[in-house]
Amino acid sequence: MSTIRLGDEAPNFTAQTSEGEIDFYNWLGDSWGILFSHPADYTPVCTTELGTVAKYKDEFAKRNVKVAALSVDGLESHKGWIKDINETQNTTVDFPIIADEDRKVSELYDMIHPNADSKLTVRSVFVIDPDKKVKLIITYPASTGRNFNELLRVIDSLQLTAYHKVATPANWENGDDCVVVPAVKTEDIPGIFPKGYTEVKPYLRMTPQPNLN
């Protein structure tokens, strides 16, 4: 059983999905990716989650994010379940759902937690950057559906902080002020952040979000 930590390289795999066979790395290409697991097909919470992801297609596309789901059930089960999702959630699922009956991918990504359930995956979420590095890991119990608005918020933060010398404070939303990282000297801030800054404390310097006009 693998243990994956932040900054690790996301394991590659080949798998059958509802959209055909994929090689995970080739499928991601130069995109960001979300890989998330579901305890089983035809489960109520998962049905709402997959419907929500389908409705967020444009939001993920704006951020250059590809999404793949996983369940330990098989391909035919997935295809039948997708019909139910489309019907009940009034949407169209057009992203791959991985069939992981042999639990190969689940074990690669440590998605089965025996003390929760010895056979079914927990609700794992992995955000992976274009360099195939794991940037975020969230694990939910089977009973709690995920907040995909929060995943979009985190991706906005990850993409912002990957390219600018800022961090995002508590409850940050896209457009809010950011924290200047401690590695930037105060005297260097004007040259890096021409929008200005506010020094709350010497270690807490705030600046408007740098990637907005």
Task: Tell me, yes or no, if 178 is annotated catalytic.
Answer: no
- DSSP letter for 18, please: T
Q: What are phi and psi of 3, to 5 degrees?
A: -120, 120
Contacts of 27 (CB under 8 A, 6+ apart): 66, 68, 96
* Helices and strands (H, E) in the chain, number of each type: 7, 11
For residue 188, give every residue at least 6 positions away whose Cβ sits within 8 Å of its Cβ, in sequence order, or none: none
The dihedral through the CA atoms of 184, 190, 195, 200 has a sign that is: positive
Contact 165, 180 (CB under 8 A): yes
List 15, 28, 46, 70, catalytic entry = 46
Would you say 168 and 157 are in contact if contact means Cβ atoms under 8 Å apart? yes
Kind and range of the H or E element at 136?
Answer: strand 134-140
d(CA 34, CA 27): 12
Among 22, 53, 36, 50, CA closest to 121: 36
- The catalytic residues are 46
